[in-house]
């Protein structure tokens, strides 16, 4: 058996009891680890639309802060994870480069919530994502991906991103399946809390 096949069989199939499917997007600036997160957490072999960054992108692709990066997402990433016997998340990773941002509004269609990944070395790159999500009225959480950047306090990050206390902010390592799963659980808990309080207000 080759490694690709064994990799696939190691991933659990979708449970027959799964009847609660939620579409989730992972957004954020260029190179913050969106594709890495979808890859690390997905139960199925993820679909990626990665292309090699060539010299043609110099001056267009802002790769100065991520010098080890050789590919970039040009459409979206797709993965799937079962959180429990009933709940399955369909994960879409957005492309981070500005020239592909026009795809985001389409990706948001039917989405219940979002993870905004941030790199503390480049917090400003996440402003656009937060702005778009607020524009769409879409619930989201913020996850600080660990690139070994400055260890700002949570309050400093909230202030820099103008994040209200009601938006969860957590730390993660997108390369770790467990850590990425924790991010998704935090988002789903947040979505349930929001829908419960909305229900309480209407009763």
Ligand X SMILES: Nc1nc2c(ncn2[C@@H]2O[C@H](COP(=O)(O)OP(=O)(O)OP(=O)(O)O)[C@@H](O)[C@H]2O)c(=O)[nH]1
- Is 94 strand, coil or helix? coil
Region binding ligand X by CB under 6 A among candidate stretches 29-37, 104-112, 124-132, 136-144? 29-37
Q: What are the residues whose beta carbons fall under 8 Å from the beta carbon of 33, sequence distance 6 or more?
A: 117, 119, 145, 147, 174, 175
Binding map of Mg ion across residues 51-80, x = CB under 5 A, - = no contact? ----------------------x-------
- 146 versus 182: smaller Cβ distance to ligand X: 146
From residue 183, alpha-carbon distances to 1, 17, 50 in Å are 33, 23, 23
| Residues 65 to 124 in contact with ligand X, rule: CB under 6 A | 66, 68-69, 72-73, 95-97
Choosing from 24, 27, 30, 186, the residue that interacts with ligand X (CB under 6 A) is 30
- 35 versus 111: smaller Cβ distance to ligand X: 35
Q: For residues 59 and 97, is the Cβ–Cβ distance under 8 A?
A: no
β-bridge pairing 50-52 and 71-73: antiparallel
Residues that bind ligand X in the complex, under the rule CB under 6 A: 30-36, 66, 68-69, 72-73, 95-97, 145-147, 173-175
């Amino acid at each position: 058996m080759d490694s690709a096949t064994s990799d696939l069989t190691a991933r659990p199939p979708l449970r027959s009891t799964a009847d609660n499917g939620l579409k989730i997007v992972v957004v954020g600036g260029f190179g913050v680890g969106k594709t890495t997160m979808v890859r690390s957490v997905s139960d199925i072999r993820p679909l990626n639309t990665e292309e090699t960054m060539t010299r043609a992108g110099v001056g267009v692709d802002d790769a100065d802060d991520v010098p080890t990066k050789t590919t970039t997402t040009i459409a979206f990433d797709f993965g799937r994870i079962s959180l429990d016997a009933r709940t399955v998340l369909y994960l879409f990773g957005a492309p981070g480069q500005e020239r592909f941002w026009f795809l985001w509004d389409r990706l948001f269609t039917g989405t219940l919530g979002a993870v905004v990944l941030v790199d503390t070395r480049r917090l400003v790159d996440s402003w656009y994502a937060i702005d778009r999500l607020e524009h769409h009225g879409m619930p989201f959480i913020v996850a600080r991906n660990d690139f070994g950047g400055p260890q700002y306090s949570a309050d400093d990050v909230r202030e820099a991103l103008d994040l209200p206390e009601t938006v969860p902010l957590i730390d993660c390592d997108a390369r770790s399946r467990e850590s990425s799963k924790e991010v998704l659980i935090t988002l789903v808990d947040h979505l349930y809390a929001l829908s419960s309080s909305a229900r309480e207000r209407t009763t």
